[in-house]
Amino acid sequence: MPPIADFDQMSCPTPRRQHERVLLGHGSGGKLSADLIQRVFLKELGNDVLSSLEDSATLALGSLEPAVDDARSGPRIAFTTDSFVVKPLFFPGGDIGKLAVFGTVNDLAVVGATPLYLSAAFILEEGFEIELLRRIVISMRHACDQAGVTLVTGDTKVVDRGKGDEVFITTTGIGLHAANHALSIRNARPGDQIIVSGTIGDHGMTIMSTREGIEFETALQSDTAPLNDLTRAMLDACPSIRVMRDPTRGGVSSTLNELATASNVGILLDEASIPVRPEVHSACEMLGLDPMYVANEGKLIVVVAEQDCQSLMKVMKQHPLGRDAAVIGNVTADHAGMVVMRTLVGGQRVVTMLAGEQLPRIC
Amino acid sequence: MPPIADFDQMSCPTPRRQHERVLLGHGSGGKLSADLIQRVFLKELGNDVLSSLEDSATLALGSLEPAVDDARSGPRIAFTTDSFVVKPLFFPGGDIGKLAVFGTVNDLAVVGATPLYLSAAFILEEGFEIELLRRIVISMRHACDQAGVTLVTGDTKVVDRGKGDEVFITTTGIGLHAANHALSIRNARPGDQIIVSGTIGDHGMTIMSTREGIEFETALQSDTAPLNDLTRAMLDACPSIRVMRDPTRGGVSSTLNELATASNVGILLDEASIPVRPEVHSACEMLGLDPMYVANEGKLIVVVAEQDCQSLMKVMKQHPLGRDAAVIGNVTADHAGMVVMRTLVGGQRVVTMLAGEQLPRIC
């Protein structure tokens, strides 16, 4: 699910270095992730599908050939995987199990597919309490029911004490593509509008506050949610949507930077229009963070042609998960590959991709 | 891939216990694994497909419905997942990357599907050397080439030092079912013959010897290999094959016990006919182990009707991965659910499922 740190999302190759080691930042969803993916994974494993920069791979089963660009004969399926290593395992609004189901469901949803089946592989640490595992598994069942998917296969491994951390879950999902749209991160065009489906930073600030033991007057809560019902309503109403993405690790800024690079366009944002909950704003101020870089687990970034924007916004606002949707900017021909923000005080600043690591193990 | 510890393979429910914790044996592929799967995973998540006891789930995409029993309209796909946590990462004959590709390929192959696509999700420990990661990734590319599959999507997460162990890899695979056979662990019938495709215990004893620092005159080597070319040749020649399984974690004995239970038949083995390399035999004697419980990563257990057995054996022996194939026993109506072995010294003994944990992190 997390942009950039998925293989399918990377840029910035840098030269090979001796005795280089994995850093926490390599899992950030930002520049270091992109670098690792590019230099190690895509360099050695790259192919048309893996390198296509989408949140899920699109495969044509009828022909036994990858379907990169077009709808061929036979059903086209979407296929995506993510490991979940979030700490703490339970947090306000969710837990690792719910996150593992919704995260993969959302990666299928944003490419326009109907999520159908999941697999789940558990890596358990020796000594982990089985009652906690049970709670997580029950949460996964509820999440599957809510998203309308079936968990059909799985695996468990156990590692010795001190060689894991309670439980890691890897979910992989299969979805079925509809024939009538072809969403792609390369599709944004100058003049298009950029919509966010709701408030940003809720998930990341919830995890961070829980870990730091910070309390706020209004309790923070993760936004983790399955987006497939919302995306289905959106695509039914507006099949011309160009791109959808869920801005997870690395936040909205990293997603928009990937988009600007992949579509070779500029992006101009209006800071005043970006919805942020007051409690998320306060928590960010307290910890010195920019909500633009904070992970979301139930939000969409959508790019749509200007003439379809208002009708799409109407559909989104009628859905519980799109009630706070807002147009936050537009696509430009200027400053291709860059994201620029009109700030609250009237100036402009460049919004770069997350450079280091804001918070390890956010998902 | 490893029987039993896949969700799809379990038995022996036992009552819920307070404050129970995960043991290494819960990952053994034997009784404890079965118990955990039954009591936690299947109890909370069970459905027709997950509970069907096969190495891969079978799904019908055309109808948006799981296809459990029959070929419906639309292609039927096979779907399977496994996490790999083997230690050491590199061993004679292979490495974690090769194992992760072949393990999932084999789970697709044994249900009769043609493996097509893989995903790979990496959980990296902070501080892991990137050059080692690169070696593993290159090995995965070679393994994909050898098996004829494409790695189309992936993910990377990083956990803090001391919360993981260098690298864990979860691979998930999609394969396409042919229409003309329906292999199932429930299909064995009295009179059927049981074939093993080659020597047993090679992988497990290689890992164990490497860890213990034991050297043998003839170097032990893991048997890790992609079985899809062999299974394709076998199914083309003999579409009436009843069951195929790869006897991984828990070894041949655990696979045969699952089979006896699922098909509600007895199994009678002839110890003298079971192929074991002399060096594996020696290593087992030295460490006090029974090769019947040791993991394999490139072997098949096959159940076939008696009248087709010799023609199938001929096809298997012509394939490099089936050269040492042997008929090791037969299916009986007697002692349903039990595996009995005629021993070398002339007596009989019951061969039970692996009870504890022989060697953690074998795959």
pLDDT tens-digit readout, A66-102: 444 444 446 789 999 999 999 999 999 999 999 999 9
Q: How confident is the model at residue A30 (pLDDT cuts 50, 70, 90)?
A: confident
Q: Which tokens hold the place of B199?
A: 């020597």
B63 pLDDT exceeds 60? Answer: no
Beta bridge partners of A79: A57, A174
Contact B131 A19 (CB under 8 A): yes
Of B114, B131, B165, the CB nearest to A159: B165
For residue A246, the distance in angstroms to the closest alpha carbon of chain B comes to 15
Rounded Cα gap, residues B253 and B265, in angstroms: 15
Rounded Cα gap, residues A254 and A240, in angstroms: 24
Of A126, A140, A165, the CB nearest to B22: A126
Of B124, B152, B168, the CB nearest to A59: B152
Contact B83 A44 (CB under 8 A): no
In degrees, rounded to 5, the angle at the alpha carbon of residue B218 between the alpha carbons of residues B215 and B220 is: 70
Contact B33 A156 (CB under 8 A): yes
Rounded Cα gap, residues B205 and B30, in angstroms: 17
Task: State yes or no: ipTM above 0.95.
Answer: no
pLDDT at B30: 86
Residues whose CB falls within 8 Å of the CB of residue A101, separated by 6 or more in sequence, listed in order:
A118, A140, A143, A144, A147, A149, A151, A171, A226
Q: How confident is the model at residue B9 (pLDDT cuts 50, 70, 90)?
A: very low
Mutate to test the interface with A, among B39, B89, B107, B119 (most CBs of A within 10 A): B119
Mutate to test the interface with A, among B32, B107, B129, B172 (most CBs of A within 10 A): B172
Would you call B27 an interface residue with chain A, using a CB distance cutoff of 8 Å? yes
Looking at chain A from residue 44 to 83, which residues have their Cβ under 8 Å from any Cβ of chain B? 44-45, 47, 49-50, 56-57, 59, 61-62, 64, 66, 74-75, 77, 79-83
* Nearest partner of B158 among A253, A85, A356, A45, judged by Cα: A85
By C-alpha distance, the chain A residue nearest B83 is A121
Of A44, A64, A77, the CB nearest to B61: A77
pLDDT digits (tens, 9 = 90+) for B140-159: 999 999 999 999 999 999 99
**Stated pTM of the model:** 0.92
**A66: three-class secondary structure by DSSP:** strand
Alpha-carbon distances, residue B89 vs A166, B135, B166, B208, B251 (angstroms): 21, 10, 9, 13, 21
Q: How confident is the model at residue A251 (pLDDT cuts 50, 70, 90)?
A: very high
* Radius of gyration from C-alpha coordinates of chain B: 19
Length of chain B equals 363
Rounded Cα gap, residues A176 and A167, in angstroms: 30
pLDDT at B11: 43
Beta carbons of A263 and A335 less than 8 angstroms apart: no
Chain B CB contacts of A130 below 8 Å: 17, 20-22, 36, 40
pLDDT at A50: 87
Of A31-35, A278-282, B334-338, which range is least confident? A31-35
Length of chain A equals 363
Contact B157 A84 (CB under 8 A): yes
Beta carbons of B205 and B118 less than 8 angstroms apart: no
pLDDT at B202: 97
pLDDT digits (tens, 9 = 90+) for B254-294: 999 999 999 999 999 999 999 999 999 999 998 889 999 99
pLDDT at B60: 76
Would you call A147 an interface residue with chain B, using a CB distance cutoff of 8 Å? no
